[in-house]
Amino acid sequence: VDPAVARAAREHQDRLTKPRGSLGQLEDVSVRLAALAGRVPAPVPASPAVAVFVGDHGVHAQGVSPWPREVTGQMVANFLAGGAVVNALARQAGAVVAVVDVGMSIEASAVIGAMPGLDRRRVRAGTGDITVEAAMTRDEALAAVAAGAAVADGLLRDGHDLLVTGDMGIANTTPSAALIATLLGADPAVVTGRGTGVDDATLARKVDVVRRAVARAAGDGVGAGDPLGVLASVGGLEHAATVGFVLAAAAARVPVLLDGVIACSSALVAAALVPDARAAMFAGHRSVEPGASAALAALGLVPLLDLGMRLGEGSGGVLAVGVLQAAARVLAEVATFDSAGVTDKNAADGLGAGDA
């Protein structure tokens, strides 16, 4: 992105009829959107789309979640029927929901059979158990990244101009924590959370599982300097697809709203592969999963919402769509002091109009 465009956006923001800085984070978002689009003001995103990437996890066998793997499939059926939270929030935001199987298990996919509406791009039927083996091969990781990128490209071709990450996969906060611990060199105890709300005993087991996965990957010679290797070793198929989805949005200079810890861990991989991709990333919300905050801090992203959410599905990303659109709209539509004939005290003393 061009720093001159960001500067021009900031200057335009400072001429709007309001005290400088009085819109806080909305101002920063509007400047970042302009820099990403390469023009001031940026277009106001009009057609959001959320992609829910679905995968299952071999590490489920370690007892990190009380939910059976079939629930992944049951929830996919729920998404396709429009009955899940992400569907309700997407209707509120005027967003479409794409549901993409990149890695459902046999058990999960048996639940839904030939149900129409599912975008079938399965790379493999669930990952390996990351405590004892790599989640997938490097080729499989690349194939899932490509699948996610293809989904983004399709949505962009259909005219969508704001992408939102979503995910479904029983046990998927465990590989998320493993990705974050490995990429940031963080203590698994610090970045592993309760997911759906597991009890203390399960949390302790989960931390141990993440620790073993991180150690196993290190033993296999996989480290933070090889982000694709880390993704294949301790990640998930929905994580890999999200990496591709984010990178494709960034390549098209289209904003992508990140949801929770699955998205944040995937965004870490994407940023490690293509540092400039961060310019397209916007954090929808702060998940209560501790790994999400660690990843956001590392990415330098400040979330738009902080509502104590921990659902996944893309719910926290799609809920933030209106806030991101509002930021763009302010820069695009608000009158300047000159055009509105409002006395500007900004120039004199760094203040601005509005209530004081």
Give the residue with the Cβ less far from its own copies, 169 or 227.
169
Is residue 354 a contact point for its own copies (CB under 8 A)? yes
Among 13, 87, 131, 192, binds its own copies (CB under 8 A): 87
Report the alpha-carbon distance of residue 51 to residue 93 in Å, rounded: 14
Angle between helices 261-273 and 237-251 (to 10 degrees): 60
Is residue 115 a contact point for its own copies (CB under 8 A)? no
Is residue 140 a contact point for its own copies (CB under 8 A)? no
Asked if 288 contacts 191 with a C-beta cutoff of 8 angstroms, the reply is no
Asked if 323 contacts 303 with a C-beta cutoff of 8 angstroms, the reply is no
**Count of chain residues binding its own copies (CB under 8 A):** 83
Report the alpha-carbon distance of residue 30 to residue 18 in Å, rounded: 15
Among 38, 43, 68, 185, binds its own copies (CB under 8 A): 68
Give the residue with the Cβ less far from its own copies, 154 or 322.
322
Among 40, 75, 123, 207, binds its own copies (CB under 8 A): 75
Region 154-183 residues binding its own copies, contact defined as CB under 8 A: 167-173
Give the residue with the Cβ less far from its own copies, 219 or 343.
343
Is residue 188 a contact point for its own copies (CB under 8 A)? no
Length of the chain: 356
Asked if 58 contacts 128 with a C-beta cutoff of 8 angstroms, the reply is yes
First to last CA, the chain: 36
Among 139, 197, 276, 338, binds its own copies (CB under 8 A): 197
Query: Which residues, in sequence order, are CB contacts of 114 under 8 Å at separation 6+?
Result: none
Region 282-311 residues binding its own copies, contact defined as CB under 8 A: 288, 304-311
Residue 313 is a catalytic residue: yes
Report the alpha-carbon distance of residue 113 to residue 326 in Å, rounded: 41
Is residue 345 a contact point for its own copies (CB under 8 A)? yes
Report the alpha-carbon distance of residue 137 to residue 229 in Å, rounded: 9
Among 103, 126, 195, 284, binds its own copies (CB under 8 A): 195
The DSSP bridge partners found for residue 168 are 54
Is residue 30 a contact point for its own copies (CB under 8 A)? no
Burial of 305 (0-12, 13-18, 19+ CB in 10 A): middle
The contact mask relative to its own copies for 31-60 (x = CB under 8 A, - = no) is ------------------------------
Which stretch, 95-103, 217-225, 292-300, 347-355, contacts its own copies (CB under 8 A)? 347-355
Q: How far is the CB of 128 from its own copies (least distance, A)?
A: 18
Nearest 5°: CA angle at 109, between 103 and 110? Answer: 155
Region 310-339 residues binding its own copies, contact defined as CB under 8 A: 310-313, 315, 319, 322-323, 325-326, 329-330, 332-335, 339
Among 65, 105, 242, 266, binds its own copies (CB under 8 A): 65
Q: How far is the CB of 147 from its own copies (least distance, A)?
A: 19
Whole-angstrom CA distances from 124 to 18, 31, 98 are 53, 41, 19
Give the residue with the Cβ less far from its own copies, 142 or 257.
257
Asked if 139 contacts 145 with a C-beta cutoff of 8 angstroms, the reply is no
Whole-angstrom CA distances from 283 to 49, 241, 264 are 15, 18, 8
Among 92, 204, 300, 347, binds its own copies (CB under 8 A): 92
Query: Which residues, in sequence order, are CB contacts of 91 under 8 Å at separation 6+?
Result: none
Which stretch, 19-27, 132-140, 210-218, 243-251, contacts its own copies (CB under 8 A)? 19-27
Active-site residues, by number, are 313
